[in-house]
Structure 1
Amino acid sequence: MIQDNLILEHYGLNELNFETIKSYRDKFAAVKPDHPWNVLETKEFLYKVGAWGKARDTHKEGVTLAGLLMFSEERMITEILPQYFLEYRESDAQGGWNERFTSQDGTWSGNLYDFYFYVTEQVYKHQPNGEIASSLVEVVTNMLLHADYNGEGGLTFEYNQQSCVFSNPGLFRIPVDKVFITKMSNLRNPHLFKLFRLLNLCERSGSGLTALHDKWKSYGYELPTIDQDVYLKRTTLSLPMSFPEGQKESGNQTTSTLSFNNNTGNKTGDVESTGEFVEKSSYYNKIENSFNKDDSHLIEEFKGKNIGVSPADIGDNPYNKEEWSYNKNNYSYNKKDVLISDLEDENSVLWNLAEIARRKKRLSPAKMEEVIVSLCAQQPLRLKDLAHLLDRTPDGVRNNYLSKMLRKGKLQLKYPEQPNHPKQAYLIEGYRREE
C-alpha cells in the first residue's frame, strides 16, 4: 500500500491549489495565532505540516502524497491514485437526489480539504441538533483519515431521510467487534491526520466510534452498524437517524431526523459558509482571524522554485508571474489590480446591487443567487470581489453559491479551461469574454 508520506519528486508547488493553501494557513493562524510557522514561506510551512517531503539521501524534494490529497486538484491526484473519488449526496423519499457533489465536478478543487469543509457545512445546515451534527462531522473526518486511497470505489457520504451512510475503500485495522468498545488508534494515513490535527479537527484518542455508539444509544436511536466487504476491501458505516420500531422519542430528546427542505426560506440557510461555521466553533470564536497583519507574500516564493517540474511548466504557469499578498483581509492577485476595498468607490452600481446581501446576513439562497447573477451581469467578477461586495467570506461564497451556480449553468467561468487562472472571474452566459 502506498504510504501518505511518499515523496512525489516530480510534483512541485505548481501542482497545488493556492486558494486551498491560503485557506488552510488562515485557519491555522486562527487556531494558533502565535505559532512560529505562521511566518514561514509556503514551501517550508508545507514541509513542517507534512505536505512537502525531502529525501535526505538523494536530496530530492516534492509534494507528499498527503499534501497532494489535501491541497492539490482532482486531475493531479488521479494521476497518482486513479481510483480517487469523493462524493456527497442527499437522497429524497422518491430515490432521487436533492444534491450531489463529486470530486469530478470540475467546479472546485476536488481535494480532501475543500471536500471536508463543504460536507461539514451541509451537515450543519441539515442537522438541527448540534451534538449529532458534530458526531457526523467526526465520522466524515474518520472516513477521510482511514480510507485506503489506492483502493477502488471512492469515498461516499449519503444523507437520506432516515440515515447517514459512509463508505470508503479499506478495511478496519483493528477487529470489527472491537470498533465500538476500544480506544485504540491505528492510523492508515498519519500525515493526513497531522494536517487535520493542526487545525484541531481531530484527536488521536481512538475513542471516536465508541463515543458515537454511546451517543446514539443515549438518544434511543437504532445503533450504528458496520459492514466490511472483504472481497472488495470496503467499509460501510450506517448511522440510523430513527428510533426502533415501537419506541417513541422521549420528552427530553430533540427530534433529529434529517430535514431536506427545498424552500429557500428554510432556516438551514442560516449557516452560510464554512468560514462562518468555523468562526462559531469553540476554538475559533475567541481568536481574531489574523494570518499576518504585516505585509507578507503568501506565494511569492512559488516563482521559479518548483522542484521536479519542467521549465516549460514553470514558464507557462501563470502563477509564477503573479504575486499574492495578504494584509488585513485585503489581498490582490496582481499589484496592478484594483483593491477590492475600492469597488464601492469605482462602481456604485455594483455596490448598490449588493446592498441587500450586506444588510441581511440571513438572506435566502435563492435571493443571494439572484444578487450574484445581477452583479455578474454588470461585469465579470472575481471571488474576492464578490465576497467583498456581499460581505461574506470567500469560502462561503464559493462553496455555498458559486459552485452550485456553475453546475446549474447560472454562471460561467471567464477561463473555463484554466480553473485556477490568477484572474479567474465569474460571468453570465452571453457575456463577451475579453482574453
Structure 2
Amino acid sequence: MDEKQILHALDIGEAQDWEFKSAKGGIPGDLWHTYSGMANTEGGTIVLGIREIVNGHDVHGLDDPEKTRKNFWDSVNNRQITNLNLLANHDVQLVTVAGKVVLVIRVPRATRRQRPVYVGQNPMEGTYRRNYEGDYKCRPEDVRRMLTDQTEESQDTRILEHFGVADLDPNSVRQYRNRFSARAPNHAWLTEDEQGFLGKLGAWRKDRVTLVEGLTVAGLLMFGRDEAIRDPAAMPEFHLDYRERLSEEPAVRWTDRLTSDGTWVCNLFQFYERVNRRLTSDLKIPFQLQPDMSRKDDTIVHEAVREALVNALIHADHRGQGGVVIEKYRDRFELSNPGTLLLDVEQVWRGGISECRNKTLQTMFNLIGYGEKAGSGFDKMRQGWASQQWLTPNIEESTRPDRVRVVLPMVSLLPEESLKRLRARFGKELDALSSLEVQSLVTAETESSVSNFRMQQVTTEHPADLTQVLQRLVAKGLLAQVGQKRGTRYELAGSSAYKPGPPSDRLPGTPHIIGVDSTRKEGNSTHKATALPPELDPELLTVAQGARGRRRLPPDETCQIIRDLCRNRYLTHRQLGGILDRNPTGLQERFLRPMARRGELVLRFPHEPNRPDQAYTTGSNDQAK
C-alpha cells in the first residue's frame, strides 16, 4: 500500500470498500464494528488519520504513529475486543499521505469457517456486516446461519426425526433411478432395494454415534412431497418459483409460471426436470456434428444454463427467505437463491475451489450428469457465453435478506440495437469515444447501470483505469454517478433522479481532499460535474416545499408530495428523506412501503424489496390520484 493508492481511493471511493476514520484521541471505538463488518462481508481497507468531512476528506495524520500501530495490534489480539485476528504483519502499514502519517489496515474477507467475526464476547450481540450504507448489526438468525456454515458437515446430511420413506414421492425416486440407470446401466447400486439405493445416495443415513437412522434433509428436498418438505420440522421456508417473462406488454406479468400450486410435486428433482426444459427449449444455438457425423443439439450454452440452474438449487440455503427464483426473459436468464456465497466473488470467478452448502444434493445431481465438483461451474457459464460473444455472466451477493443472484445476458457485447439507441441519444459524441467507453455505455444501457466491478468482469482492464473511464463519461455528460463507495454505479445520463447542475472544478462524486491537489485534466480541458444529488435539486425542493419544516402534515398530503417527487424518476428512501426533511427509515416504513403495496409506487428492484438501495417511482395506480 502506498500514497498513490490511498489518494486514488480518496479520489474515487469505489474500487473496493474503504473506510476513513479520524484517530485523534486514540483508536476510535467504532473501528471494531467496521472490522467485523468488513470481515463478514467482502473485506476492505480501514485508514486511520483521515477524517471524512462534507464533500471530502481531511488528511490530519496520527500524533504518534508507532504508538497507534502498537495499540491496534494489542487490541486486535485482545479476545475481550474481538474474537478473531485475521491480519498478518503486511496487512497493517504506516503510510505517508500529503506529508502526514496514517495507519492503513487491510481487512480480508473471513472464510466460512472463520465467520462470524464479532465485537466483544457475544456473537449474537456483536456481529456486523456491511452494505451500501455502512456497518449494521446482524440479526440473531443471520448469526446462526454463519455458525451453521462453519461446520465441516454439509447442511443436508442432517437426519430428520419422525420423517420416513412415506414422505417421499415414489415417482420422483423411480424417475431419478431411471436416469441413473441410463447413465450407468451396470452400476452396482442398481441391485439395491429402494431404501438401500437411497442410502447410497445419502438420502437415508444412520448416525454411527447415536444409532439414529432416517431420511436426510437432502433426501427430502430432492424427492419429498411438497407438504412434507414445508413441514415446520423440516424446511418451512422452502419455495421454488419459475417465471417466464417473454411478453413485451407491460401488463403481462409472466407468460408462464411454475410454482407450488398442488398440480405437481414440488421437490428439487421435479423442479429441475420441468424448468431445465423450459429454459433451454428455444435457445437459438446452431447444432454441432459429432465425430461420427451425428447431430448434437446439446451445446456448451445448454450446459452453461444447466450448470446455473443446478448451482442455484444446491448452493441455496433452503431455510432462508425468498426461495429459489428462476426467471427467463427475452434477452437474459436471472437465477437467485437464498444464502451467501461461501467463497468471495473473485474466487468464484477464478474457479478451482469447490465449496457447496449442500454436498449431498450436489452428489445426487452429479450422479445423473449435472453439476461440477471441481469449482469450475461458473467458468463453464463464462465459456458458454463467450462462445456466442454475449455479455459476460454477472454474479451478485446482497444482504437483508441474504441472496445470491446470477444474471446470464443473451446480449452481444456490442449489440446493434443498443448502439442504435445510444446513437439516437448521444449523436456524434458516440463516434469520438474509445471502444472501452462505448462498451461501458452499452453495458449501462443493456443492464440499466454499470459499475467498476461489472466492467472488471466484462473486460481485462485495471480497476483504476476503469474508474477513470467511467468518470470521464460522467464528465462528458453521458453517464450519471449514483451512490458512493462500494455502492457506486453509473446510469445513462437522464435515466435517474440526477439532473444537470452547475459546473464544478471536480469530477462528480470526487471528494475534496484538504491539503491535496485533486484537480484532474484531460488534454486542455478540466472535468466538469454534470449532476446534483436529488437532495440539492432546486426543482425537487420546490415540490417538497409544503412538507419541509412542517412536522405535522396530513398523511394524504405527504403521499401526494411523494408521488409528485417520484414522477418520472427513481428516488431512494434516503434521498426522499433529505428532500422532505424527514427521517428516512420512518418515511420508508410509514409511507413508501405501504404506497408500494397499494400500487401507488413501483419498486426499482421488485424481486429484491429489501435492497438497501431500493428506489421508488410512481405506479400505475397513480393515474387515479
Q: Given the alignment of the two structures, is residue 89 of structure 1 paired with residue 89 of structure 2, yes or no?
A: no
Q: Does residue 233 of structure 1 match 2:402?
A: yes
Which one of the candidate residues 192, 195, 199 is aligned to 2:361?
Answer: 192
Q: Could you say which residue in structure 2 is the equivalent of 1:61?
A: 213
Q: How does 1:364-383 map to 2 (within 5 A)?
A: none
Letter in 1 for 2:222: M
Cross-structure match for 1:16: 168
Q: Which of residues 338, 342, 349 in structure 2 aligns to 1:173?
A: 342
Asked whether the equivalents of residues 171 and 235 of structure 1 are also in contact (C-alpha less than 8 Å), the reply is yes
Distance 1:246 1:76, change over 3 A: closer
Q: Which secondary structure does the structure 2 equivalent of 1:138 belong to?
A: helix
What SS does the aligned partner of 2:396 have? strand
- Do structure 1's residue 77 and structure 2's residue 234 form an aligned pair? no
What do residues 307-350 of structure 1 show as CA deviations (whole Å, max 9, x unaligned)? xxxxxxxxxxxxxxxxxxxxxxxxxxxxxxxxxxxxxxxxxxxx
1:8/1:62 contact within 8 Å kept: yes
Match of 1:286 in 2: none
- 1:57, distance to aligned residue in structure 2 (A): 2.9
Which residue does 2:370 correspond to in 1? 201
The residue identity in structure 2 corresponding to 1:38 is: L
2:349 is matched by which residue type in structure 1? F
Shift of 1:245: 4.6
How do 1:215-234 residues align onto structure 2 when only pairs under 5 Å count? 215-234=384-403
TM-score, L = length of structure 2: 0.38
2:187 to 1, 25, 35: 35
- Written as runs of structure 1 = structure 2, the 5 A alignment for 1:34-183 is 34-79=186-231, 80-91=234-245, 92-95=247-250, 96=252, 97-102=254-259, 104-129=260-285, 130-183=299-352
1:24 Cα offset (Å): 0.9
Distance 2:415 2:166 in 1: 58
* In structure 2, C-alpha distance between the alignment counterparts of 1:200 and 1:244, rounded to whole Å: 31
Whether the aligned pair in 2 keeps the contact of 1:157 and 1:166 (CA below 8 Å) is yes
| Greater fraction strand | 2
CA distance in 1, matches of 2:363, 2:415: 44
Quick one: which of 379, 385, 400 aligns to 1:210?
Answer: 379
Task: Write the deviation string for residues 31-59 of structure 1: whole angstroms up to 9, x where unpaired.
Answer: 11111111111111101110001123333
Residue by residue over 1:188-214, the C-alpha shift from the partner in whole angstroms, topping out at 9 and shown as x without a partner, is 111101111111212211111123223
Q: 1:246 to 1:48 in 2, by over 3 A?
A: closer
Letter in 1 for 2:248: A
Choose between structure 1 and 2 for higher RCO, CA contacts under 8 A separated by at least 6 residues: 1
Alignment-mate amino acid for residue 213 of structure 2: E
CA distance, structure 2, for counterparts of residue 126 and residue 7 of structure 1: 40
TM-superposed CA distance for 1:248, in Å, is 8.1
**Is the CA contact (8 Å cut-off) linking 2:159 and 2:215 kept in structure 1?**
yes
Amino acid across the alignment from 1:37: W
**Equivalent position of 1:313 in the other structure:** none
Q: CA deviation at 1:219?
A: 2.4
CA contact (8 A) 2:300 2:383 kept: no
Kept in 2, the 8 Å contact 1:226–1:237? The answer is: yes
Q: Distance in 2 between matches of 1:155 and 1:163?
A: 17
Structure 1 residues 124 and 246, CA gap change in structure 2 (3 angstroms): closer
- State the superposition RMSD in angstroms: 1.8
Counterpart AA for 1:223:
T
CA pair 124-224 structure 1, distance change in 2 beyond 3 A: closer
AA aligned to 1:221 is: W
Deviation at residue 216 of structure 1 after TM alignment? 2.1
The answer to whether the Cα contact below 8 Å between 2:243 and 2:258 also exists between their aligned partners in 1 is yes
Q: Which residue of 2 aligns with 1:417?
A: none
- Matched with 2:292 is none
How many Å apart are 1:15 and its aligned residue?
0.5
CA distance in 2, matches of 1:126, 1:20: 26
Q: Distance in 2 between matches of 1:10 and 1:109?
A: 21
Deviation at 1:9, TM superposition (A): 2.2
* Structure 2 counterpart SS, 1:227: strand
User: Could you list the runs of 5+ residues in structure 1 that have no partner in the other structure?
Assistant: 250-435
- After superposition, give the CA deviation of every residue in 1:385-415 in whole Å (9 maximum; x if it has no partner): xxxxxxxxxxxxxxxxxxxxxxxxxxxxxxx
Distance of 2:302 and 2:320 partners within structure 1 = 28
Alpha-carbon deviation of 1:121?
1.2
Structure 1 length normalisation: TM-score?
0.55
CA-to-aligned-CA distance 1:127-154 (integer Å, 9 cap, x gap) = 1323322211110011111111111100
Counterpart of 2:572 in structure 1 is: none
Does the CA-based 8 Å contact 1:183-1:210 persist in structure 2? no
SS of the residue corresponding to residue 404 of structure 2 reads: strand
Comparing 222-231 and 105-114, the one that deviates more: 222-231
- Determine helix, strand or coil for the equivalent of 1:193: helix
Q: Distance in 2 between matches of 1:215 and 1:109?
A: 31
Secondary structure of 1:70's partner?
Answer: helix
Unaligned runs of 5+ in 2: 1-144, 149-154, 286-298, 419-625
CA drift at 1:217: 3.2
Name the CA distance, whole Å, in 2 between partners of 1:225 and 1:124.
19
1:180/1:213 contact within 8 Å kept: no
Q: Structure 2: which amino acid aligns with 1:118?
A: R
- Displacement after TM superposition at 1:12 (Å): 0.7
Q: What SS does structure 1 have at the residue aligned with 2:325? A: strand
User: Given that residues 221 and 241 in structure 1 are in contact (C-alpha distance below 8 angstroms), is that contact kept between their aligned partners in structure 2?
Assistant: yes
When residues 45 and 231 of structure 1 are mapped into structure 2, their CA distance, relative to the original with a 3 A threshold, is same
CA distance in 2, matches of 1:100, 1:202: 24
